[in-house]
Structure 1
């Protein structure tokens, strides 16, 4: 094993940026000790200096910066997380790749199809650089277990997926405008939480081939002006006249057809009253049904053929050491402890560092920019279907 440290940095110190900062810090504590090279926590960058300074101090990073170009130019940084507004991803990612840095970019890859394609082309032109897209729910132990059941045939032939991801971060009309509320239709709730739900659906059921019946809705059409220091337009209400126009969707609903013949229905929202972060889905197969609710993330529900007729029903299975990522992924890795959304960031960071170091620990690789480009194509297909009265649109 190389003893040269892998030096990491994070661009963006809002909610998700701090979670990335914590994940790089935790990654080397997971699984077998001494497998990864040492991880050096080099820098955190944010244009809002109080965020950058506080995050660097809180998570033990050596320094902070307010200009991402300092990170790109730094000779002592190997790996960078990009966790800023989607429209900024392309310029930053391309500069980092050209500087020879490995890049883990939060989803969605960007807010336009053209930029996503260009980012992917730059990444593919530099195969020596590892790129990743942050679809972290595929690292959630319970979700990964359901995907394993589906792929191993334990559910029988999977024929129906029903998923919903409902959040209330935008339900208050006095929440100020931010980058989340700007950009084309399809880059709002669909691009934010919907991209996660669509990725989970493909992770379990395989590739989507067609979208139909899509509807996009903007419920709150104007918001107060932006407030400095409010990360992503979450968690704060202001008393001000609503003058800024919301450009994208608050709610998205659509149907999906998968290449394996399964069908699905997905709904997502950022204005779901009383649902802070509600991700739920059901997967139906010819032999069983599996269900997941993020509010009960330390379990899955499984209804299958093991019980006698007349005694069947959903049974709770606690996340434990036979679930992906769980064994060795915590200092208390036994059933009943549970798992959280934070854990999946840690598992993702560990896998990405292993890729950078060329170490095979049996962890699936973090999906590359090419996967992020595909996700944007699906997102665009939903927007196109919605713009054409729900017409079917092929994924190409």
Structure 2
């Protein structure tokens, strides 16, 4: 069996690129969950893929110096800053990676672009459409100066979803009729779970809608190859008061560590939509699906076939070819581990699956190629803005439908 090609270069010390490739010096703001995931991408991509630029983990930034230094040592960053403004001002940084809560995305991104840096910003792009519009305009101006910006919708980088996009684009489904997608978690089921920053509108922008709904809106539009034209929605907050958090790191440290606070975001969002082609779509995003940890599932139905993907089985794609004879037709599993599949040319022999963390490696790979080639990366800030507009339309619709009046049967 032919083995996949792996880089034979020795690992470079932190902060130094391998010989022969120009460096891409990265400064990352934030070191929690997403910071760890992004670190994995920056640390690994150049050692798996043959990249035109060499990512260098130059600086990690966080307000808590002790925690930031611990994260730097754990994840391979060469230096530490405690003020993102100082990081953006450094002339030894080429790219700013934003892994902070949504309330700071716009300010950091705008400053970084103005300072002549490339930008990678976690999703959702911003907390409001106005912020996202400002960020997109700044990104377009920066692009004219050779500086590029991308938003981090990592589920596009699962090999199975990338293969699904390839199949849809090739016409394997024919005319699209239905898209149905849900993203289910259960980490808020316990009413005693504390009031973290993700439950405060001023920090997170929205709840399950922005946290999970942004992912599934982007993924549905990416796979369909078209945009949503309209939505109708319901949202709900099931537990409206929660214990205030204790200690640092919550994003709410100015509040007293006693009593309760009000949840100001949605816990669940349900909405239907219609694509520009007329295809119908349904979406569900919730953090109250008891027993579901990170269950994202999407299915596309067309006149000639259907595709289905489940994140809990992320090396598999299910395909039904409706052009086959009826007695032989049915959904069949495609094991997405062949070197001909997206991203798999550099990984393991067929049958050796990848995981969640590899999506961030692939994200870095695609961004580095876009920067080296001087082309707009995808998804761009303009793509992130469009998702933000869908989220805003969902909230507007849900507000209008807040008094649920069922039709008598």
Return the TM-score normalized by structure 2: 0.86
Summarize deviations over 1:195-217 as a string: whole Å, max 9, x none. Answer: 00000110111333433330011
Summarize deviations over 1:255-280 as a string: whole Å, max 9, x none. Answer: 11001221100000122211111100
Distance in 1, matches of 2:137 and 2:339, equals: 39
TM alignment of 1:1-396, pairs within 5 A: 3-32=21-50, 35-127=51-143, 128-183=146-201, 187-230=206-249, 243-305=260-322, 307-319=324-336, 320-328=338-346, 330=347, 332=348, 334-358=349-373, 365-389=377-401
Summarize deviations over 1:186-239 as a string: whole Å, max 9, x none. Answer: 721111110000001101113334333300111111112134455689xxxxxx
- Select between 6-15 and 240-249 the one with higher mean Cα deviation: 240-249
SS in structure 2 at match of 1:126? helix
Distance in 2, matches of 1:339 and 1:242, equals: 44
Quote how far apart the aligned CAs of 1:241 are. Answer: 6.2
Q: How many residues align?
A: 377
SS in structure 1 at match of 2:47? coil
Q: CA 1:23–1:229 in structure 2 vs 1: closer, same or farther (change >3 Å)?
A: farther
Quote how far apart the aligned CAs of 1:339 are. Answer: 2.4
CA contact (8 A) 2:102 2:205 kept: no
Distance in 1, matches of 2:292 and 2:28, equals: 29
Distance in 2, matches of 1:199 and 1:118, equals: 20
RMSD (Å), alpha carbons: 2.3
Quote how far apart the aligned CAs of 1:242 are. Answer: 5.5
CA contact (8 A) 1:104 1:134 kept: yes
Quote how far apart the aligned CAs of 1:12 are. Answer: 0.5
Summarize deviations over 1:274-301 as a string: whole Å, max 9, x none. Answer: 1111100111111111111111001111
Quote how far apart the aligned CAs of 1:179 are. Answer: 2.1
Quote how far apart the aligned CAs of 1:308 are. Answer: 3.7
Q: CA 1:263–1:374 in structure 2 vs 1: closer, same or farther (change >3 Å)?
A: same
SS in structure 1 at match of 2:142? coil
- Select between 80-89 and 121-130 the one with higher mean Cα deviation: 121-130
Q: CA 1:213–1:40 in structure 2 vs 1: closer, same or farther (change >3 Å)?
A: closer
Return the TM-score normalized by structure 1: 0.89
Distance in 1, matches of 2:259 and 2:314, equals: 37
Summarize deviations over 1:86-110 as a string: whole Å, max 9, x none. Answer: 0111111111111111110000011
CA contact (8 A) 1:180 1:188 kept: yes
Q: CA 1:157–1:11 in structure 2 vs 1: closer, same or farther (change >3 Å)?
A: same
Quote how far apart the aligned CAs of 1:359 are. Answer: 7.0
CA contact (8 A) 2:30 2:60 kept: yes
